[in-house]
Each structure stands twice: as structure tokens, then as C-alpha cells.
Amino acid sequence: MKSKTDYKPLQILVNSPDDIFDIHRLDISKAIIHAMKFGYSKRRKVIDFAELNFAGKMTVQLAIDRREFPELIEKNIAILEEFEEYELCAEALKLKQKIGKNKSKKGL
């Protein structure tokens, strides 16, 4: 069983940058939720969620800023619901609640 410290960004081998988000939409959405959970628990300001390898010639890392978490949770819950990934949706909703509670405690 993976522990919370076993987090690794999603790695995608890409042939054409035009279809990354169409072909890998669900995997990217899952990676974003997992990255946010890890980043939130470790209090990271920025967390990598994917690494795109363009046919072995170039690698690009995609990251999210902690301030983007609330908006990204909403967008990715919709994608996860579309693909019927309800268990991960529930985890995302729990994270959304934690973030909301933390903001209200800080008066943000």
C-alpha cells in the first residue's frame, strides 16, 4: 500500500502536444487531485502533477500553485464525475472541505 510520501507526478510519453489533454484527460485530472492532496498535507506552495516527455527529446513539468486548489478541485470533480470516478470525487470533496475550513480559520 502506498503511503502519502510515495507521491510521484504522472509521467506521460507524448508524440504530439496537440492531443495531450484530450487523450490523457482523465489521467491528468486524477494526477491533479492526488497532487493537491499531497501538496495540501505537506503544506507545499507549488506541486508538480505531471511530467510530459516529448519523444525523449524534451521533458516538461506541469505544476499547480496552492492558491489554485479551490478552482482546480471544482473543474476536476466535474471531469471525474463524467468518467464515473466517484471514489476520487469523494476524496476531492473532502479536500475542498478541508481547504474551506482552513480559509475560514485564517479569515481568508
Q: How far is CA 75 from the centre of its chain?
A: 11
User: Measured between alpha carbons, how far is 9 from 63 in angstroms, rounded to an integer?
Assistant: 9
pTM over 0.85: yes
- The helix (H) or strand (E) run that includes residue 12 is strand 10-14
Q: By the 8 A CB rule, do 37 and 91 touch?
A: yes
Q: Which residues in the chain land under pLDDT 50? A: 1, 4, 108
pLDDT reported for residue 100: 87
pLDDT reported for residue 15: 84
